[in-house]
Amino acid sequence: MDLIKMSRVKEQRVSKKTPIKQDLDKLEQSLELELPETDKEIDSLRTEELIVNFGPQHPSTHGVLRAVFTLDGEIVRKIEPHIGYLHRCFEKIAEKRTYAQFVPFTDRMDYISAVLNNWAYSLTVEKLAGIKVPERAEYIRVIIGELQRIAAHLFSLGTMGVEAGALTPFLYFIDEREKILWLFERVCGARLTYNYINIGGVRADVPEGWLEDALSFVHHLKKSIIDYDKLLIGNYIFKKRMVDTGKFSAVEALDWGLTGPPLRSTGVAYDVRRSDPYSVYPRMDFDVVVRYNGDNYDRVIIRSEEIKQSIRIVEQAIEQIPDGPIMAEGVSRELVPPIGDAYGHVESARGDLGYYIISDGTPKPYRVKIHGPSFGNLQALPAMAKDSYIADAILTIGTLDTVFGEVDR
């Protein structure tokens, strides 16, 4: 009998609601929401927009970009890019240096493809001063320039994979890029900022056996890039993340001033190497890579396909390169071009890179104006990413492939 009484007392204690249990019941009742049943009721629901500062230290900004996102849930309603965190007054510095002294500064703009910046500036000064570059130097410029384009695109493809959550392709792409940097180090002693292409030619001839090693590398990459395409571009998850995000039409791209892969992904076949040929590019057989959907996925494919075209150009240039001098005669470090102006541009890894220089007949330029493709492409970001998910907007920033030394020039 004592056991029966004890069990009944225990049951009463368990069933009795404690103060904590009562509070939990009240909380549960307060959280019960009446969900809307009709479309009209759903439309009447209001949410507050959220302002989020993205950058300027976040790795996904690809530099010191500060973007102010106006979000409606996860949807981007507005983006306000804020630049200038890396501004170093390159144009004003150019006016305070001799023509030759400014060449190393060009490396510091698009530091991922520094050689192409050397080339654009030197080409413009050569037009201004009427300097004819020796043929061997022109071929070396093409070989080095295309290897630099490959290195820049490898870096870009790797970081785009990281943005989508894929780290493995980045390791492969960086390993291939390292081989190009090794070739550059043998030529000029530098791995990032080169000061190699100079006014009138190149600083030094390629060392013995270098051309053979460069040819061996591009033959190797020609086979490897097929596997890398399967690893990244052919990946189902990567494709689902990229296709139909950040879309832009050809009309919009032209209106916003896009150049390079972002422009060619919309179907516009504009490439300075073909549209306004320079150096020995008219002797090269290569295709201008064009896609037509204008989305993030097409911008990735463009860069992969351009690597293959650059391989073709390097192979042809090495086969055709003649002997001879590598620097024009009579080019002084105290160069004084005649009074006048000149504009020169090249197809950099990011797009149309141009310099406009005015000479007043002194050893220093009167005015230097730089057209950086990263700046032109970045201005289209608010239009590209509007009404997309914030996760897709991050991918769009990545596929624009901006370098902020060039944006904040």
Complete DSSP assignment for 187-240: HHS-SS----EETTEESSPPPTTHHHHHHHHHHHHHHHHHHHHHHTTT-HHHHH
Report the SS3 class of residue 256.
helix
Extended strands (E) in 219-366? 340-347, 352-359
CA distance 49 to 69: 10
**For residues 362 and 247, is the Cβ–Cβ distance under 8 A?**
no
End-to-end CA distance of the chain: 93
272: number of Cβ within 10 Å: 20
CA angle 171, 177, 183 (to 5 degrees): 145
- Please state the φ and ψ torsions of residue 334, each to the nearest 5 degrees: -100, 45
Q: Which two tokens stand for residue 271?
A: 């490439």
β-pairing, 197-198 with 367-371? unpaired
All residues at 6 or more sequence positions from 54 whose CB lies less than 8 Å from its CB, including other chains: 60, 61, 66, 67, 68, 69
Helices assigned H by DSSP within 112-167: 114-129, 135-163
What does the buried/exposed string (b/e) look like for 149-169 if buried means 16 or more CB atoms within 10 Å of the residue's CB?
bbbbbbbbbbbbbebbebeeb
CA distance 358 to 366: 6
Strand partners, 359: 340
Check residue 39 and give its pLDDT.
59
The helix (H) or strand (E) run that includes residue 68 is strand 66-72
CA distance 121 to 106: 7
Check residue 41 and give its pLDDT.
57
Which amino acid would we find at residue 226? I
Q: In CATH, which superfamily holds the domain spanning 89-407?
A: Cytochrome-c3 Hydrogenase, chain B (1.10.645.10)
Q: Which two tokens stand for residue 23?
A: 């509070």
Q: Which two tokens stand for residue 95?
A: 């006016």
Q: Which two tokens stand for residue 129?
A: 């001063």
The helix/strand count (H/E) of the chain reads as 18, 8
Domain ranges of the chain: 89-407
Q: What is the pTM of this model?
A: 0.88
295: number of Cβ within 10 Å: 24
> What percent of the residues of the chain are helix, what percent strand, and what percent coil, each to the nearest 5?
50, 10, 35
Report the SS3 class of residue 341.
strand
| DSSP state at residue 269 | -
Check residue 59 and give its pLDDT.
82
CA distance 168 to 399: 18
CA distance 277 to 141: 14
**For residues 235 and 172, is the Cβ–Cβ distance under 8 A?**
no
Per-position pLDDT tens, the chain of length 409: 454 555 554 445 544 556 666 666 665 566 555 555 565 655 666 678 899 998 888 888 888 999 999 999 889 999 999 998 988 899 999 999 999 999 999 999 999 999 999 999 999 999 999 999 999 999 999 999 999 999 999 999 999 999 998 899 999 999 999 999 999 999 999 999 999 999 999 999 999 999 999 999 999 999 999 999 999 999 999 999 999 999 999 999 999 999 999 999 999 999 999 999 999 999 999 999 999 999 999 999 999 999 999 999 999 999 999 999 999 998 988 899 999 999 999 999 999 999 999 999 999 999 999 999 999 999 999 999 999 999 999 999 999 999 999 998 8
